Amino acid sequence: MTGPCMLYCGRAAVPLQWVGSVKAPTRTGAILTGDLYACADCLPHLGVMVERHVQERDLKALTAR
Ligand SMILES: [Zn+2]
């Protein structure tokens, strides 16, 4: 599938990979449930942030005992 990357690069027509479901606010304030697609260049950047988030979450879970 080719289309606009929904992450960082802003390119309009790139090969896309499905990232997951998202709930996002629209301009009217309504919350829309949809799908997030991103290109191969942006996905590793997302991966770094997800990895960080998971590590912090797990660390908090461990230290909360
Ligand atoms: Zn991209």
Per-residue model confidence as pLDDT tens digits over 17-61: 999 999 999 999 999 999 999 999 999 999 999 999 999 999 999
For residue 50, the CA-to-ligand 1 centroid distance in Å is: 16
Contact 46, 19 (CB under 8 A): yes
Q: How far is the CA of 24 from the centre of ligand 1 (A)?
A: 18
4 contact partners, CB below 8 Å, separation of at least 6: 11, 12, 13, 14
pLDDT score, position 64: 84
Phi-psi label, residue 22: left if phi above 0, alpha if psi -120 to 50, beta otherwise: beta
What is the value of pTM for the model shown?
A: 0.80
**Distance, CA 32 to ligand 1 centroid (Å)?**
21
Could you count the other beta carbons within 10 Å of the beta carbon of residue 43? Answer: 17
Show the tokens assigned to 51.
């990895």
**d(CA 55, ligand 1 centre) in Å:** 24
